[in-house]
Structure 1
Amino acid sequence: MSGDSQALPVRKATNISDLEAVPDIDPTTTAGLLAERLQAWKHAVGYLEDYVGAVEKVHKAHSKEYEKVLKTISHPLKEGAHFDQGLGGVAGFFENMRVNTQAMINSNAETEKTLKGSVLPILERLHKEIKAKVKEVSHGVEKGAKEIEKVRNTTQKHIELLGQHTAAFESTGGKMNPNDDPYVIQRGVIHRLNKQVIEENNHRNDLINVQDSFKAFEAHVVETVQQAMDALNQVAGGQAEKTRALYTDMLGAAQRIPGDFEWQGFVAREGHRLVDPNDPPRTVEELVFPNQNHSATKPIIEGSLERKSRNKLSWGTQSGYYVVTPSKYLHEFKDDDNLRYDPKPELSIYLPDAVIGAPSGEKFSVKGKDKSKSISSKIAGTSELSFKAHSAAEAQKWFEAIRTAAGATGSAYESPSSSPSGTVSETKPSLGKIDATAAHKEQDTGITGAETVSSPTEISPIAKQDTMKSGSATDEKKAAAA
């Protein structure tokens, strides 16, 4: 394979599965594959260790066997007097044999010690390096993969929750608790998707770093194997020319392996399972998930409004982000940011049970009970919320949207003059459409259809006092005119 081919095979363009919020691909696939590859390298080095260890034992055994050979000629020749004891004769020949045989004994013993003390440690150190690399991948990258599995499971649960409540929205006609509002749940899904994408991108960067280090690491492994084989050739190859030729051939075979040969072959076979550094990172905006565009998740109207503080000690106003949802709730949020924190409503009013005040310029009001889960909202009764839009036209838009969300069977709306400023009055929602008579009375008196159908026994004490005061004032005017 050409050494110029460095880049990973480019995977095909992003398909729809890559844009799914929770992909079906196992996040440990790449990390597990790389860890398995390191195991293969570790076993390959282990084979070489076993081989060199066996050669070491062979030379140790050869040393002992040559000692047996030496014993066959250790004694002086019998009838040696018949031979010249000087060099160059038969006696000298046998003495030369003894010296050379002893050299074979010493050479094999020295070869055994050299293999054990010099060649084997090279492979043992390499074995430890590979084991450390395995630990790095297993306990580093795979740990990040487990974190991804955890956050993906959390995202999947919220997506399933969105599916349940969007289905419930259809079956119940949209009436549900504030926290079951598909709009709210969808924002929660986006919040968790953001956390998931951060973990996925961090894990992706870790995998890319590990992949990039593999090429250099495998070149180091190959180079170390070559060093071990060179040492083995120098130590054991001197025993015999034939053995040397065999070891040289093995060394040549090892030296002919390019440092990146195995890596390039691995990439050609398994490149589709590796992370492509050229792929762009995932973003929340491009992801898709079930019921993402369901009608129940689309607000009827949303935007920022100013609301008069309900704290009696404070006379100022506070800004907030308000949304009217198809589930007929008016939700209040701190802002429209779905990413910094989990978007939960600060206040939730079920509009069919509320009374809407007709807009007066930029201002309008809504009377209703906060149905969010806060303790204060459970204790508090029905209260009037005074809003201020950015313009009179915008206030009219909010009024129409709220009245539409309340539905034909929801409460009527009242004019701003229907109750004194700051007065909290309990009203009973209308059970039917506002007929022409109720609408006419609304124009004459400013009282809503819900108030006209209320029974006398349901009028609040404050309303009774206002009625009595109004009657007495009328009597005084009549007496003055007389």
Structure 2
Amino acid sequence: MASPTSPQNTLPTRTATNSTDDDAIPDEDSSEVTRLFHERLQAWKHACAYLEDYVAATEKMQHAHGKEYEKVLKTVSHPLKEGHHFDQSLGGVAGMFDNIRSNTQGISNSHYESAKTLKGAVLPIFERLHTELKNKTKELTKGAGKGAKIVDKARGTSQKHIELLGQHTAAFDSTGGSVKALDDPYVLQRQVYHRLNRQVIEENSNRDDLLSVQNSFARFEAHIVQTFQTGMSQFNQVVTHQAEQTRTMYGDMIGVTQRMTPDFEWNGFVRRNNNVLIDPASPKRSLEAISFPNQDHRSTQPLIAGSLERKGKLLKRYDTGFYVVTPSKYLHEFKTDDDFAKDPTPENSLYLPDCLIGAVDGVKFNVKGKDASKKLGLSMSHEYAFKAHTPEDARRWHETISAVAGQTTSEVPEMSAPSSPVAGRNEVASPSSAAPSYTTTAAANEAAGLEQGVATSDKV
């Protein structure tokens, strides 16, 4: 008999993906921002290296000029020949040459001092800045760059489980809803939510890291520009005393440098890359706004769900759990209905067409069957004693389970030691038994004359 949920000659279908503004797996490169900042740091390092080379070359030139002026000094280092023809007092030719020698020596010494100052005071400013840029690059790679890899990994895991959900929801109708417990679309959907939650946490964490880097870059670039200004200012002070012409040329250079505002480059950078940088005013992602394929497929919607109490096998006490009956005809038991605290894998899974359900006694009812979630099918048949919060809840659970259960019985749970439905089944085999205690759903309903049972057998 064909199942009403899976008509014959129906090919498996898959729910189409709806295009939304907030897809489960965003079509974006999580490392794009990191690469952009990495390239920008490279540009700043090259600019800093240019200034280092310029200062170093100027230092060598100043040192060479000192040597050249020593050669110039040698031309007037000896006393004037026939010097006795000249007055040796100040104000004469001899005094003039004395002044030439002292000034030439001073020029040579000033070049040596300029070279020493450039190497010991100005050049380290740019070397330290270059080191800061290198450290910033390492920080970016180990921080935001590593976060981008974690986001990509989390997205890959989510995509894998979404595709797995798509496979089993597509095959749901063609298999008549008969799937393995761990392949139940309801379970797979909850596992997708679990992984999407972790993905969103990683995405938002990486977003915060990138936003922090982005904000720090504005301050860092202002620091770079200010360092350029400080270094060039000291450089100008060293070289301008050599000559008025040199001072004029370098004054023009420092004038251009000083006129550059700290945020000029940063503002231009933001305008050029507005489509890549993160908007601080944009909201963070939330799981409620995410949609994914087959999110609302009927196989993922429970027939009934809520909390029940189940008697333990050893301690014989009732413990509360979250239970759900799925369209795949499974009764799943979970510790909680929270999809995010841990991976929502069922603690027990009863395939109801293979199970036997007893009658309702107030808030209690029993279900006998094997745990279908156990590996290798080694689970033993066990009688599960349930207790609802109210008789109305017990009736609703009983009606839903009876609609898909393989067998029903009119026997009610005992108040003391619970009687196993196996005893009833043994009575069926016993010749002295007046009437069988367990029958198929239709036979049990007909014998008991229960209108509810009749409706249940029709559903089955």
Partner of 2:333: 332
Hey, what does 1:352 align to over in structure 2?
353
Cα deviation digits, residues 204-252 of structure 1 (max 9, x gap): 2222222222222221211111111111111101111111011111111
Task: Answer yes or no: is the 8 Å Cα contact 1:141–1:206 preserved in 2.
Answer: yes
How much does 1:150 deviate? 2.1
Deviation at 1:418, TM superposition (A): 11
Equivalence for 1:3:
none
Match in the other structure for 2:419: 422
| Residue in structure 1 matched with residue 178 of structure 2 by the alignment | 175
Q: 2-side partners of 1:210 and 1:418: how far apart? A: 65
User: In the alignment, what sits opposite 2:252?
Assistant: 249
Amino acid paired to 1:382: S
- Once the two structures are TM-superposed, the CA of residue 79 in structure 1 deviates from its matched residue by 4.5
Q: Is residue 2:206 matched to residue 1:203?
A: yes
Q: Is residue 33–residue 210 contact of structure 2 (8 Å, CA) maintained in 1?
A: yes
Q: Shift in Å at residue 307 of structure 1?
A: 2.4
For 1:343, the equivalent position in structure 2 comes to: 344
1:188-207 deviation digits (Å, cap 9, x = unpaired)? 11112222222222222222
**Residues 322 and 333 of structure 1 are in contact (CA less than 8 Å); yes or no, is this contact kept in structure 2?**
yes
The whole-number CA distance in structure 2 between the counterparts of 1:303 and 1:418 is: 21
Q: Which residue of 2 aligns with 1:19?
A: 22
CA distance in 1, matches of 2:250, 2:418: 103
Q: Is the 8 A contact 2:200 2:286 kept in 1?
A: yes
Could you say which residue in structure 1 is the equivalent of 2:67?
64
CA contact (8 A) 2:410 2:444 kept: no
State the distance in 1 between where 2:251 and 2:413 align. Answer: 106
Aligned residues: 420
SS of alignment partner, residue 252 of structure 1:
helix
The answer to which of 389-398 and 35-44 deviates more is 389-398
Provide closer, same or farther for how the CA distance between residues 239 and 103 of structure 1 changes in structure 2, counting only shifts above 3 A.
same
Q: Please tell me the residue identity of whatever aligns with 1:386.
A: A
Query: Structure 1's 435 and 170: CA in aligned 2 closer, same or farther, altered over 3 A?
Result: closer
Deviation at 1:333, TM superposition (A): 0.8
State the partner residue of 2:401: 402
More helix by share: 1
Equivalent position of 2:216 in the other structure: 213
Q: In the alignment, residue 334 of structure 2 is paired with which amino acid?
A: F
Assess if the C-alpha contact under 8 Å between 2:361 and 2:413 holds in 1.
Answer: no
Query: Aligned runs of 1:15-94 on 2, under 5 Å?
Result: 19-94=22-97
Letter in 2 for 1:422: S
Pairs within 5 Å for 1:398-477: 398-406=397-405, 411-416=406-411, 421-425=418-422, 440-441=446-447, 443=449
Rounded Cα–Cα distance in structure 1 between residues aligned with 2:308 and 2:185: 22
SS in 2 for 1:276: coil
Q: How does the TM-score come out when normalised to structure 2?
A: 0.83
Q: Does 1:293 align with 2:296?
A: yes
Alignment check: 8 A CA contact 1:182 1:297 kept: yes
Q: Deviations over 1:83-104 (max 9, x none)?
A: 4444434443333322222222
Paired with 1:170 and 1:156, the residues of 2 have a C-alpha distance of 23
Report the CA distance shift for 1:421/1:106 in structure 2 as closer, same or farther (over 3 A).
Answer: closer
Give the letter for the 2:295 counterpart. Q
SS of structure 2 residue aligned to 1:24: coil
- Aligned-partner residue type, residue 365 of structure 1: N
Residue 187 of structure 1 pairs with residue 209 of structure 2: no
Q: 1:96 aligns with which of 94, 99, 111?
A: 99
Preserved CA contact (<8 Å) 1:382 1:424 = no
Give the Cα separation in 2 of the matches to 1:437 and 1:113: 108
- In structure 2, what is the Cα distance between the partners aligned to 1:366 and 1:383? 8
Letter in 1 for 2:360: P
Q: Is the CA contact 2:349–2:371 (under 8 Å) kept in the aligned structure 1?
A: yes
1:115 maps to 2:114: no
Given the superposition, is the C-alpha separation of residues 398 and 284 from structure 1 closer, same or farther in structure 2, using an over 3 Å criterion? same
Runs of 5+ unmatched residues, structure 1:
1-14, 429-433, 449-482
The CA deviation string for residues 285-305 of structure 1, in whole angstroms up to 9 with x for no partner, is: 221122211221111111112
Task: Give the 3-state SS of the residue equivalent to 2:274 in structure 1.
Answer: helix
Distance (Å, rounded) in 2 between the aligned partners of 1:143 and 1:250: 41
Matched, 1:317 2:318: yes
In 1: Cα distance, 2:126 partner to 2:342 partner: 53
Which of 264, 268, 289 does residue 265 from structure 1 map onto?
268
Q: Distance in 2 between matches of 1:37 and 1:301?
A: 57
Which secondary structure state, in structure 1, belongs to the residue aligned with residue 358 of structure 2? strand
Instruction: Give the Cα separation in 2 of the matches to 1:84 and 1:165.
Output: 114
Of the structure 1 ranges 413-422 and 224-233, higher mean CA displacement relative to structure 2 is found in 413-422
Alignment deviations for residues 126-150 of structure 1 (CA, whole Å, 9 cap, x no partner):
2222222222222122122222222
Find the aligned partners of 1:96 and 1:163 in 2 and give their Cα distance.
Answer: 96
1:474 matched residue in structure 2: none
Quote the residue 2:458 is aligned against: none
Q: Which amino acid aligns with 1:141?
A: A
Give the whole-Å Cα distance in 2 for the aligned partners of 1:290 and 1:107: 77
Per the alignment, residue 5 of structure 1 pairs with none
Runs of 5+ in structure 2 lacking a partner?
Answer: 1-17, 427-439, 455-460
Alpha-carbon distance in structure 2 between the residues aligned to 1:84 and 1:390: 127
Give the conservation status (yes or no) of the 8 Å contact 2:408–2:441: no
User: What residue number does 1:229 align with?
Assistant: 232
Structure 1 distance, partners of 2:58, 2:364, is 96
Q: Percent of counterpart pairs with the same letter?
A: 56
Change (3 A) 1:327 1:79: same
Partners of 2:155 and 2:441 lie apart in 1 by 53
TM-score (normalised: structure 1): 0.80
